[in-house]
Amino acid sequence: MQTISVSVQDDLVKLCDLESLKKNLEEELEYQGFHLLEKKIQKAMSEVDVDWEMEFEKKREEAFEEYRHRGKGN
């Protein structure tokens, strides 16, 4: 992990306390990290020759069948 230094206007620091600004920046950077990861995953999924809708539907049906069988066993 790296530490960065950012200049912040004095007025902004007066309006928001420093800890609040730090927390907001950390949350934004975390969001950006997840966003970049999402893009990488979407790119990888699109490059593979798989019908994802069909795969998700098969898994949904399997999960429903498991749910039905478990429900009858109770």
**pLDDT score of 1:** 86
Judged on CB neighbours under 10 Å (0-12, 13-18, 19+), 62 is exposed
Over its C-alpha atoms, the chain yields an Rg (Å, rounded) of 23
**Does the global pTM surpass 0.75?**
no
Query: CA dist 21 to 7, 9, 27, 35, Å?
Result: 12, 11, 10, 21
Rounded distance between C-alpha atoms, residue 49 and residue 51, angstroms: 7
CA atoms within 13 A on the CB side of 7: 1
The pLDDT tens digits of the residues spanning 14-42 come to 999 899 999 999 999 999 999 999 999 99
